[in-house]
Amino acid sequence: MAQAVLYTPHPNQKLIHNCINNTEHKYYVINIGRQFGKTLLAMNQMLYWALNERKIKIAWVSPVYRQSKKVFDECAKAFAKRPEIYRNLNRSDLIIEYITGSTIQFFSAERYDNMRGFTFDYLIVDEFSYVHERAWTEVLRATVLVRGKKVLLISTPRGKNHFYLLHQLDGINPQYKSFTMTSYDNPMINPTEIDDAKLTLPDHVFRQEYLAEFVEGGANIFSPFFQSENGGTKFYGGVDLGRSNDYTVLSILNEKGEQVFIERWRHDSWSSISKRVADKINEYNAITYVEVNSVGDAIFEQLQSLCNTRENLHPFITTSKSKQDIIESMAIASQRKEVTFLPIDWLQKEFEVFTFKYNPKSRNVNYGAPYGFHDDGVMASAFSFESYKKLKSSGEYYIT
Ligand SMILES: Nc1ncnc2c1ncn2[C@@H]1O[C@H](COP(=O)(O)OP(=O)(O)OP(=O)(O)O)[C@@H](O)[C@H]1O
Ligand SMILES: [Mg+2]
């Protein structure tokens, strides 16, 4: 490498740089586990291009603005110590111009429309599997069609999505070269740290995030079984409250773990929503968990006052830990068909897209809908399952 920046690549990073710089492929699809040093590798590769070639245009794309800005800031910070290598830093447009006349511009794939019409010599997309497929097919790919020399698509897998498909092209299309490495391939990480993560994470999460395996349905937490209503004698409810953007959803299961009722409401007053929820709880005499985080106690009390049996209602406070617990226990039960759901379009869709994000900093898994989707139906189902499970295991209902 030329005198780039602050960085001595570890042997596995070096291997990838060598391949990029000494082979003639166009697309390098780099699939590697967390904390390998992917982002640092890509930053340094892009600086290598910027400092060794004249008047070229390079684009850096991250899924969201915050990530892209962070990489810009890190580059800017590094150059503060090396004023001889850059000409200009444009902090509002996130462009760095080097003494070679080459530029690097930073973008986020959230607003991929902003990139229409650009052409680049080099393109780097970090966390590619979290970039919307359409950002790639409709915009990004076209920016390197004419002048494009090399494209780095770097990521940890996310199920078998568009990143997986491109990764499969190695050996089929000579323009593509793929890599797979794991977090263990970073010799700077103590392997026992990764072993620890293995103990605390669900198996499919660990294999995807650290071993970079394209886990079948890796992004699909649930494989729910849907069946029509069967009636019942005892009922357990779960309510996820929401009013404007989000829905209020009530789910009710019978004593066999079969969903017998689910409905959602929004764009209405709290008193009207509460009334409809309470009417159904009364109709089924369902022992019900109500998630109270988002709206507080007032709505819970209102609901309680509308219920024939006040003791039927119990507050549920979600934390990232309790959310993880109830989702994972419902996921396991749904695989065993110990809980089944009503075949309703919007609910099926919610189950399909429901996913997790692994946060390497906090080392937590956060479950939820991808940005722009709903998960209130899944959550209400999970609260009703929790109510069902508590009673079943204890034989009695304890107020918590
Ligand atoms: N060759 C290296 N020399 C020194 N530090 C390194 C090297 N490679 C990576 N690191 C450090 O290891 C940490 C992880 O690097 P980086 O963020 O690039 O990894 P990543 O694979 O992109 O991780 P993630 O999957 O979480 O995005 C950073 O603190 C980075 O500075
Ligand atoms: Mg990274």
Pocket of ligand 1 (CB under 6 A): 7-10, 13, 34-40, 156, 188, 360
Interval between CA 345 and ligand 2 midpoint (Å): 36
- Provide the sign of the torsion angle of the four alpha carbons 170, 173, 174, 177, taken in this order: negative
The size of the chain, in residues, is 400
Q: How high is the pLDDT of residue 203?
A: 82
Q: How high is the pLDDT of residue 213?
A: 96
Q: How high is the pLDDT of residue 1?
A: 40
Q: Which of 301, 303, 328, 325 is nearest to 250 (CA)?
A: 303
Distance CA 128, CA 151 (A): 12
Q: How high is the pLDDT of residue 400?
A: 41
Interval between CA 129 and ligand 2 midpoint (Å): 12
Q: Sketch out the chain's domains with CATH numbers.
A: 11-209 (3.40.50.300), 235-390 (3.30.420.240)
Asked if 58 and 102 touch (Cβ cutoff 8 Å), the reply is yes
Give the ligand whose atoms come closest to the C-alpha of residue 42.
Answer: 1
Interval between CA 32 and ligand 2 midpoint (Å): 10
Q: How high is the pLDDT of residue 353?
A: 77
Q: How high is the pLDDT of residue 237?
A: 98
Whose C-alpha lies nearest to ligand 1, atom 23? 35
* Terminal CA-CA length for the chain: 61
pLDDT tens-digit profile of 41-56?
999 999 999 999 999 9
Distance CA 93, CA 378 (A): 40
Q: Which residues of the chain have pLDDT under 70?
A: 1-6, 218-220, 358-363, 370-372, 392-400
- DSSP result, 234-263: SEEEEEE--SSSSPEEEEEEETTSBEEEEE
Q: How high is the pLDDT of residue 392?
A: 65
Give the burial class of 141: count Cβ atoms within 10 A of its Cβ; 0-12 exposed, 13-18 middle, 19 or more buried: middle
Q: How high is the pLDDT of residue 173?
A: 94
Interval between CA 18 and ligand 1 midpoint (Å): 18
Whose C-alpha lies nearest to ligand 1, atom 28? 37
Q: Which atom of ligand 1 is nearest to the CA of 127?
A: 27
Interval between CA 34 and ligand 1 midpoint (Å): 9
Q: How high is the pLDDT of residue 360?
A: 56
- The pair of structure tokens assigned to 110 is 């959230």
Q: Which atom of ligand 1 is nearest to the CA of 33?
A: 25
